[in-house]
Structures are given as C-alpha cells and as structure tokens.
C-alpha cells in the first residue's frame, strides 16, 4: 500500500509537469503523460537509472533483470516449475530453453562456474587443451560459440530487442548476412587473461545489427564503430 501511495505522488508530479499533454486513463503504471507504457518508455527510464551507477548502460537492459531473477533462483535450487510459475510461463520448456541458459551478466557467472568445473574434471582425467603441438580453443570460447549458435538458429537471440521478428529467413538467405553476424560477435567478444569469456555485450550488438537489417527504421545506439564490423582475414 505504501508503494502505491508513493507511485500516486510521483504521478501527481508528472501530471503537473505534463500540463495539457496529460492523458487520464486510470493507469497505475504509465508513461510520464499517463499513456500506456511502451517498451521504449521502460528502456529509457531504466537507462536513466543505470547511468547513475557504475554499470555499463550498453550492457544492461531491462531484460537482464528478468534473466538475472531466473538465474539467481536457479542458483538457489528453486524448482524449475516454481520459477516458470513466477515468470508467467505456461510450461517449464520456455524457462529451460530461453532463460535458464541465457548469457546475461548473472547467468554468465553460473555458466563460467560450470565451465571451470568441467575444465578441472578434464584436467584430472588426463586430458589437455592441445592435440600434439596444436592448441585448441579455450573451453569458455567453445561454450560461448555453442550457446550463440543455438540462440541464433533457434530464434531466441535477445528476446526483447528482437521480439516478434523472425530474422532467420533473412540471415540464412545470404551468406554475407550470416558472415557479418559472426564477424560482429567475434570482434566484440571479450576474453580476459584467465580465458573467461564475457559474451553478453557481443550478443547484444549482434541483435542490434539484426534488428536494423530487418527494420531499417531502428536506430543502432551507439552506432557501430569500424572495428566492430571489420571482416578478418584476406
């Protein structure tokens, strides 16, 4: 009840600031002129909060709150059925497929723990990340490529930014489009000195490129820099 009272006070202040633009629709959660909330309103308000912290606004979006919520519950051992109910899914299949294995900042950490654990088990078993004198890709990178390819092919890459857009026919129709998708992913992907991978921002930038490719009216922010779309090799 107290939270609703605070919300009403905020709306009274918004009403005074909006003047003639105010549209009374009886909504509890609405825009600053009391029209129904659009995803753009939420993202703009969320970014206004993020820029006041030490978090990178380019890497955090409202969807990360939902993904982090699911990941934290999963880490605490909450049954998948209960998590699915809390996030409003009709079945556990969507929760398992899309959210529990997503690569947002929170679930990245969980996946890295699994990767480190599996790497240790391989080491104990006598396996090495090389074949003869030829080094193999780090386990973290191979896992990231696997997850990225799965989301891309499954149509579940960035469920918020690409919501309602079936981008797969467009990407699979021309080799150059898929080439650019993996180019951006590989160029933006970050690997620290210990070999751990941070691929959340790389996936987000790819999703922005796909959104613009499918919808030219979408404005990529920030604009792509030359190094992000530079094709490697000859």
205 contact partners, CB below 8 Å, separation of at least 6:
184, 185, 188, 224, 228
Radius of gyration of the chain (CA): 21
Encoding tokens for residue 2?
Answer: 């107290």
Query: pTM of the entire structure?
Result: 0.48
pLDDT at residue 105 greater than cutoff 50: no
Which ranges constitute the DSSP H helices of 87-199?
A: 92-94, 105-124, 139-154, 168-173, 175-188
pLDDT at residue 178 greater than cutoff 80: yes
Residue range of the domain that includes 194: 38-228
Nearest partner of 194 among 119, 133, 105, 128, judged by Cα: 119
Quick check: is 16 in a domain? Answer: no
Quick check: is 135 in a domain? Answer: yes
Q: pLDDT band at 75, cuts 50/70/90?
A: confident
Quick check: is 88 in a domain? Answer: yes
Q: What is the pLDDT of residues 21-61, one digit of tens each?
A: 888 888 888 888 778 876 667 777 888 888 888 887 766 77
Question: What total number of domains does the chain contain?
Answer: 1
Quick check: is 207 in a domain? Answer: yes
Decide if 45 contacts 52 (C-beta within 8 A). Answer: no
Quick check: is 11 in a domain? Answer: no
Encoding tokens for residue 112?
Answer: 């890295």
Quick check: is 19 in a domain? Answer: no
Quick check: is 26 in a domain? Answer: no
Quick check: is 7 in a domain? Answer: no
b/e map of 159-196 (b: 16 or more CB within 10 Å)? bbbbeebebeeebeeeeeeeebbebbbebbbeeeeeeb
Continuous segment of H or E residues that includes residue 190: strand 190-191
b/e map of 142-151 (b: 16 or more CB within 10 Å)? ebbbebbeeb
């Amino acid at each position: 009840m107290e939270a609703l009272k605070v919300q009403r006070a905020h709306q009274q202040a918004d009403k005074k600031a909006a003047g003639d633009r105010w549209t009374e629709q009886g909504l509890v959660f609405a825009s600053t002129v009391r029209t129904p909330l659009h995803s753009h309103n939420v993202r703009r308000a969320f970014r206004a909060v993020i820029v006041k912290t030490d978090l990178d606004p380019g890497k955090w979006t409202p969807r990360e709150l939902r993904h982090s919520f699911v990941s934290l519950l999963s880490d605490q051992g909450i049954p998948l059925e209960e998590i699915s109910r809390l996030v409003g899914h009709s079945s556990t299949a969507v929760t398992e497929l899309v959210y529990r294995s997503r690569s947002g900042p929170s679930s990245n950490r969980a996946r890295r723990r699994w990767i480190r654990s599996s790497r240790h088990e391989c080491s104990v078993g006598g396996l090495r990340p090389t074949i003869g004198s030829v080094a193999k890709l780090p386990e973290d990178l191979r896992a990231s490529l696997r997850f990225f390819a799965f989301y891309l092919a499954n149509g579940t890459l960035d469920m918020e930014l690409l919501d309602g857009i079936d981008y797969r026919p467009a990407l699979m129709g021309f080799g150059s489009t898929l080439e650019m998708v993996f180019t951006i992913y590989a160029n933006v992907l970050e690997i620290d000195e210990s070999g751990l991978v941070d691929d959340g921002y790389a996936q987000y930038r790819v999703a922005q490129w796909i959104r613009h490719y499918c919808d030219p009216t979408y404005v990529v922010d920030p604009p792509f820099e030359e190094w992000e779309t530079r094709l490697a090799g000859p």
